[in-house]
Amino acid sequence: MTKKVYFVCAPIFLYWPVEISKRLNDLCGGIVTGGFIGGPKKYHDILKQEWGDMADEVVYTHDLELKWIATQHDAKELGFFIELLGHEVINQLIIADRHIGNGLLVGGGIADSPFLNKIRTDKDASLNYLVNMLSYLHGFLSKTKPDVIYSYAVAGAFTLAIAELCVKLDIKFLKLTHSRIENKVVIDSSPRDEMNFVKIQFQKPISEFTNDSLKYGSTYLNKFREKQQQPDYQILQNNIYLEKTTFKHTFKLAAKYLKGTFNRSNEFFHTSYLASINYEYKITKGIRKFWKQKPFFDTEFLLKRSFLFYTLHVDPEASTMVISPYQTNQFAVIEAISKSKAITDILIVKEHLTMIGRRPSGFYEAINALPGVYMADPTEPSFKFINEAKAIITLTGTSGLEAILLKKPAIFLGNFIYKFIKKGFICTNDLSQLASILPNLDKIEVIDDADLIKLIASVNEVAFPFDGGLVWSGISKQKVIDHPEIVNLFANAIVKNLS
């Protein structure tokens, strides 16, 4: 029987679905494909041409969004989706989106656009967009009935809505999820990075693990503790930040702005090319201001104190908006920690390098003004603080996993992708619990090495290596063609979910 596989695409994820579809066609003896794409219309046309006869539906979402936001929603349809999904999920769709939930972005921002201006000036626009989008997607998915929908990420209301509707319509939803172990990624079924397939593997008896995976688990744990290196994806992010600090980057922005002034073909309702260039320029100015003011304290001074360690997240990002929807205000989180910690401890807060220049004015000064709270030098390795901290506090971050691997107490105030291991951490969304958690860190049960090795081995059993730069460093058909082994890994992971 012919299978139907749809993809949620984007300009940076344009040619991968095409090559993956071709490989799926070889593996399955015939598939029908299709999907969604926004951005400039030329990318929709390229995708449709590349897929050719394989695709039955290639939806251009940009034009739909214009209708969704401008059309008054039907109260009966809203009632239908409240009954189908519930108030909590519908609220989470708004929280997940940096446009319709823009008012919730207090620790970062995005470039202006006609879409964003509409949301800011029309209080009904968010609900109009949401209800009309849900109505369209529910009708489309009910009609087309794909076997699988694959998305390269879930970072907004559109993809999260697809994932939630897939559950209700018995359609398999898959997304790329980073394991936070080296460069290993998992094609998983959870839109909120809950690592369902790793969890299934972890719950199996040790006899069902390959010797290679168990050896990998032991070797990785020992190497991690010895070398304490960042995951590959963090190194990639830091390199992107460093590129923005150069004068060469500033000159590039000026050239792009000049080009955009004479060619308005990249001005869209959802995104404005010129506004994006202006926003990037604002970031470069913010970076220079940050390093001129240096709103952080000396590392050696901080390390002499008894302290808790909190790592700031990128904002906006799925790690807060999708995975941790109830803690999107990180200043409020830091304030809650400062009010709940032992009076003899300090709280050290470290910025995410890629957020320098992106925070609202006065953000760091406000953090430093909190009693017992100190900003740290963002260029210092996080492990310098993790190793000495009484506990590591994060929303969903990698620093929490690193703490657990080093047998340091970890507190997740949003979610933890490996919470099924049950030991080595506390996970809560209730900030009022901090007053009872922080004075009793010794009650957090330490996880033993056997379980940590089993966790890492579980990742190895279901994951495959993937260089994120192949997606995030730009659009290139040749880049995809040159990596048939990666295409094959993606295709095989999807095939497992077609059977």
Question: How far apart, in whole angstroms, are the C-alpha atoms of residue 392 and residue 371?
Answer: 19
| E strand or H helix that includes residue 7 | strand 3-8
Burial of 363 (0-12, 13-18, 19+ CB in 10 A): buried
Residue closest to 171 by CA, chosen among 414, 377, 8: 8
> Residue holding tokens 């839109």?
191
Query: Token pair of 477, please?
Result: 């058909």
Q: Parallel, antiparallel, or unpaired: how do β-strands 464-465 and 184-188 relate? A: antiparallel
Reported as a single tens digit per residue, the pLDDT across 23-70 is 999 999 889 999 999 888 899 999 999 999 999 999 999 999 999 999
186-206 pLDDT, tens digit each: 999 999 999 999 999 999 999
pLDDT at 115: 92
Q: DSSP assignment, residue 13?
A: B
- Report helix angle 273-293 to 247-262, nearest 10: 160
Q: Do residues 357 and 286 make contact, with C-beta atoms less than 8 angstroms apart? A: yes
pLDDT digits (tens, 9 = 90+) for 61-97: 999 999 999 999 999 999 999 999 999 999 999 999 9
Which residues, 6 or more positions from 466, have their beta carbon under 8 angstroms from its beta carbon? 176, 183, 184, 185, 486, 489
Total length of the chain: 499
Q: Contact at 8 Å (CB) between 34 and 56? A: yes
Distance CA 80, CA 120 (A): 27
Q: Which run of H or of E encompasses 495? A: helix 484-496
What one-character-per-residue DSSP string does 238-297 give? HHHHHHHTSHHHHHHHHHHHHHHHH-GGGB-SS-BHHHHHHHHHHHHHHHHHHHHH--SB
Residue 16 near residue 471, CB atoms below 8 Å: yes
Confidence (pLDDT) at 262: 73
Alpha helices (H) along 309-391: 318-321, 330-340, 363-369, 382-386
**One-letter amino acid identity for 66?**
L
Location of structure tokens 């394991």: 179
Locate 451 and state its tokens: 């379980």
Token pair recorded at residue 405: 């691997």
In the numeric block, the tokens 């994806």 are attached to 233
Global pTM reads 0.94
Strand order in the sheet with 346-350: 373-376, 346-350, 307-311, 391-394, 410-412, 425-427
The pLDDT, as a whole number, for residue 272 is 82
Q: Which two tokens stand for residue 92?
A: 């989470």
CA atoms in the 13 A half-sphere facing the CB of 7: 30
Nearest to 271 by CA among 446, 425, 61: 61
Q: Measured between alpha carbons, how far is residue 380 from residues 227, 358, 386, 388, 394 in Å?
A: 15, 19, 11, 14, 17
Q: From edge to edge, which strands make up the β-sheet containing 172-178? A: 55-60, 31-37, 3-8, 148-151, 172-178, 184-188, 464-465
Q: Please name the residue ranges forming H helices in 294-329.
A: 299-303, 318-321
Q: Which residues contact 383 (CB under 8 A, 6 or more apart)?
A: 228, 402
Q: Are 270 and 36 in contact (CB under 8 A)?
A: no
pLDDT score at 236: 62
Are the CB atoms for 115 and 270 separated by under 8 Å? yes
| Residues of the chain below pLDDT 50 | none
CA angle 7, 10, 14 (to 5 degrees): 75
CA distances to 286, 297, 354 from 378, rounded to whole Å, are 15, 10, 10
Q: Do you find a cis peptide bond into 17, omega within 30 degrees of 0? A: no
